[in-house]
Structure 1
Amino acid sequence: MKIYIFLISVLLTAWACSEDAIDSYKSTRYLYFSKPEVLDSATFLSFSHYPGATEKKINVEVTLIGDLLKENTTYQLEIDQDSTTADPSDYELNLTQTFAANQIKDSIEIKVFNKNLTNKEVTLYLRIVENENFSPGLKKNRAARIIFNDIDSQPLWWTSSIETLFLGRWTPEKYARFIESSGITDLTGYEFTAIRKICLQFKEDIRLNGWTEKDGSPMELTVN
């Protein structure tokens, strides 16, 4: 009988420890960047897409695993110096951030500057590090890569659909004239009808002003 009582006691103790472990796990909070750190998921910004801009703000999303916070809570970042090529003067960032209460996603605001970026691309590499409030989450998402430059490059919104239906092949000259004509640097979120109207006006401005490509060839659009 004593043996049975002993075995029951052992089982109850093990069960209690197991419950404590689960409760401890549930109370642990982890943070990770929503995008993995691989190059294809990097956050890109080119100042060539914002003529005249000397600074821009970039937001990088962070996700919480664990119980929702009851109050705003601080977490810690560090800059991976081995992977970062941006100079400290190229960006502004608070390494102590605050994750807002009652939500599973928040964002880090980074201010980047166009001071020494002519024909140059730099990388800022951030990591989430452990503090008294959070541990780093998913291994492949513990770092974030932010790449910014002032190199002429095709905007992400200038997709194959935009090329086929409206603007044709991207060139730096065409993009500059598009901005001059429309005052718009990004067509993301515009409806089909609005894009068509904007591009038809651009086509008319090309005709009226005699705008050409760099080599003097006609600046052609596909919009009708």
Structure 2
Amino acid sequence: MKKYIFLISVLLAAWACSEDEINNYQSTRYLYFSKPEVLDSATFLSFSHYPGATEKIINIEVTLIGDLLEENASYQLEIDQDSTTADPSDYELDLTQTFAANQVKDTIEIKVFNKNLANKEVTLYLRIVENEYFSPGLKKNRAARIIFNDIASQPLWWDDDIETLFLGTWTPEKYEKFIESSGITDLSGYEFTEIRKICLQFKEDIRTHGWKEADGSPMELPVN
């Protein structure tokens, strides 16, 4: 009988320990970057898309796994120096962030500067590190790569539809004159009729001012 009592006691103790482990696991909070750290999903900004801008804000989203916070709690970031090429003077970032209570998402605000970026591209590589409130979450999402430069490049919104219907092939010269004509750096969010009106005015400005491409060829737009 004593043998059975001993076995039952061991089983009950094991069950209790197992339950504690489950509860501890469930109560642990994990943080990860919503955007996976792979090159194709790096956050990218080119100052060439914002003529005259000397600084811009880049927002990076963080997601919580686990119980919602009852009170605000801090979480910690670190810069991977081996993978970062940006100079500390190129950005401004608080490595101690605050995650708000009753939220599943938080946004990290990074201010980047266009001081020494002429024809240059740099990378800022961030990681989430463990502290008393949070542990790093999904392994592939524990880091975020931010790439920024001041190199002339085609903006993402100038896609195949914009090229085919409105602005034609992107060139640095055409983009510069488009901004001069419209005062707009990004057509994202504009309706078809608005884009057409903006581009027709640009086409008229090209004709009026005789704007040309760098090689002296006509600056052509397909918009009608």
* Fold-level similarity (TM above 0.5): yes
Amino acid aligned to 1:114: N
How far apart in 1 are the matches of 2:158 and 2:73?
A: 39
Structure 1 residues 86-123: Cα deviation after superposition (integer angstroms, max 9, x where no partner): 11111001111111111111111000000011000011
Q: Residues of 2 paired with 1:222 and 1:101: CA distance?
A: 52
Bigger Cα displacement from structure 2, 163-172 vs 8-17: 8-17
Q: Counterpart amino acid of 2:28?
A: T
TM-score normalised over the length of structure 1: 0.96
Equivalent residue number for residue 219 of structure 1: 219
Residue 27 of structure 1 is matched in structure 2 by 27
How far 1:36 moved relative to its partner? 1.4
TM superposition shift of 1:4: 3.7
Aligned-residue offset at 1:6: 3.3
Q: SS in structure 1 opposite 2:200?
A: helix
Cα distance per residue 1:134-161 (max 9 Å; x no partner): 1111111111111100000000111111
Alignment match, 1:142 = 142
Matches within 5 A, 1:168-183: 168-183=168-183
Shift of 1:8: 3.0
How far apart, in 1, do the equivalents of 2:206 and 2:118 lie? 28
The CA deviation at 1:2 is 3.8
Q: Displacement, 1:13? A: 2.1
Q: Hey, what's the Cα distance between the residues in 2 that align with 1:191 and 1:2? A: 81
- Separation (CA, whole Å) in 2 of partners of 1:222 and 1:5: 88
Deviation at 1:201, TM superposition (A): 1.2
Q: Which amino acid aligns with 1:175?
A: Y
Q: Displacement of 1:5 after TM fit?
A: 3.4
**Using the alignment, how far apart are the partners of 1:95 and 1:70 within structure 2?**
22
How far apart, in 1, do the equivalents of 2:223 and 2:6 lie? 84
Q: Secondary structure at 1:56's aligned position in 2?
A: strand
| Helix, strand or coil at the partner of 2:15 | helix
Whole-angstrom CA distance in 1 between matches of 2:60 and 2:220? 37
- Count of equivalent residues: 224
Cα shift at 1:17: 1.6
Partner of 1:157: 157
Q: Which residue of 1 aligns with 2:189?
A: 189
SS for the counterpart of 1:131 is: coil
CA RMSD, 1 decimal: 1.1
How many angstroms does 1:7 deviate by?
Answer: 3.2
Q: CA deviation at 1:19?
A: 1.4
Q: State the partner residue of 1:111.
A: 111
Shift of 1:198: 1.1
Q: In 2, Cα distance between the equivalents of 1:145 and 1:112?
A: 13
Unaligned runs of 5+ in 2: none
**SS across alignment from 2:56:** strand
Give 2:6's aligned residue: 6
1:100 aligns to 2:100 (yes or no): yes
Q: CA deviation at 1:124?
A: 0.6
Give the partner amino acid of 1:185.
Answer: T
Secondary structure of the residue that 2:44 maps to in structure 1?
strand
- With 52-61 and 7-16 compared, the bigger mean Cα shift is at 7-16
SS, match of residue 106 in structure 1: strand
Other-structure match for 2:60: 60
Partner of 1:17: 17
